[in-house]
Homo-oligomer: A and B are copies of this chain.
Amino acid sequence: MEQIIPFNKPHITGKEVHYIYDAVASGHISGNGKYTKLCQSFFEERFGFKRALLTTSCTDALEMCALLLDIKAGDEVIIPSYTFVSTALAFVRQGAKIVFADSRSDHPGMDEERIEELITAKTKVIVPVHYAGVSCDMAKIMTLANKYNLFVVEDAAQGIDSYYINTDGTKAALGSIGHLAAFSFHETKNIQSGEGGLLAINDERFIKRAEIIWEKGTNRAEFFRGEVNKYGWVDTGSSFLPSEVTAAFLWAQLEELDLIQEKRILLWNTYFSAFTNSDLREVRLPSIPHYATVNGHMFYLVCNNEEVRSGLISKLKRDTIHSVFHYLSLHSSPYYKDKYIGKELVNSDKYSQAIVRLPLFFDLSVMDVELVLKKVKEFVK
């Protein structure tokens, strides 16, 4: 029987269950225990976030951003249309009007040159999404935000250990640039805990309130630091914190971040360097801007149109290789299309129809990638 190459297989380092045993033995299994603190410190120290708070999902981290920024009915939030539902939903839940930005023509990330025309007196937040872990032009976006006094929330769901390269050559970790940022540890991500997320806070003004919102609107954190003598309901919030079981699982993954990244980037480079665009004809390679690094999260090809994509996916499926398409433009989703009054978003629609993602996960071998490449070559020639 021929070997099936799945699109994704969640990687397990082997220590997850060991650390879960340890958490369970400690008797503290609810949130904000030893492993939560280990994970949070890791993110703060390695990526320079002022404060990191684990959440049960990236959606929840984005909801915390919406609550921290006091998003209310009528506020406008600029997000790319080519993104996962949660980027919009977290702000919609607070009553925001979503203003959808188009993607760049060369890249699925939001077109930084077209943001300014979307800003109105009601605009409160810009949410750049680092698609495939490839940075948006953060210098441009932060300059715009400063000019119009807006907040920036980085949707870094796919952006762990990826960087924006400043003009002087220094690097800033994705998630460390905007006022706030959100990461995902869904099983499809480089580092995963099944479901899971992280809020990164770079603007220190938000730290104290974030701790309150995280713990159901109570000042429990201050209580346990001895700053108040009882704790109670002081603000809005939710139960955003994951259990120590989830945090222990995540810690095992974080310990192997470098190894995981090395392997994923190797696979990504194997894909990327196998072709030139002229070899590919009806499909093209991803374009990586000069200010962005690659974190090996995802390798995709851009097909000339939906028919070519369907053909490629079908061809690979016959060869027992599982490749998949990705987002559908949110501005034309069943939920939003009647509310949408902006321009046609041609690039977002193009990527909705054109992107195909190829298998890329830690346990994939370079030989597997070469097999996928062989089959893609059979299709494009």
Interface residues of A (CB under 8 A from B): 9-10, 12, 16-17, 20-21, 23-24, 27-31, 56-60, 63, 73, 84-86, 88-90, 92-93, 186-188, 192-196, 216-218, 230, 232-239, 241-246, 249, 328, 330, 333-336
Contacts and interface: CB of A to CB of B under 8 A. Distances in A.
A118 to B, nearest CB: 20
Contacts of A238: 57, 59-60, 63, 86, 89-90, 93
* Listed residue (A16, A60, A233, A336) with the most chain B CB atoms within 10 angstroms of its CB: A233
Given A12-B24, A235-B335, 18 more contacts: A17-B20, A29-B193, A31-B194, A31-B195, A56-B195, A56-B242, A59-B238, A63-B238, A84-B216, A85-B232, A86-B238, A93-B93, A193-B245, A194-B244, A195-B242, A195-B243, A232-B333, A234-B335
Chain A interface, DSSP helix/strand/loop, else mixed: loop
A57 B239 contact: yes
B29 A24 contact: no
B30 A24 contact: no
Contacts of A89: 216-217, 233, 236-238
A243 to B, nearest CB: 3
Contact of A233 (B16, B63, B192, B335): B335
A194 B30 contact: yes
A335 B234 CA distance: 4
B92 A236 contact: yes
Nearest to A56: B56
A21 B10 contact: no
B186 A233 contact: no
A216 B86 contact: yes
B239 A56 contact: yes
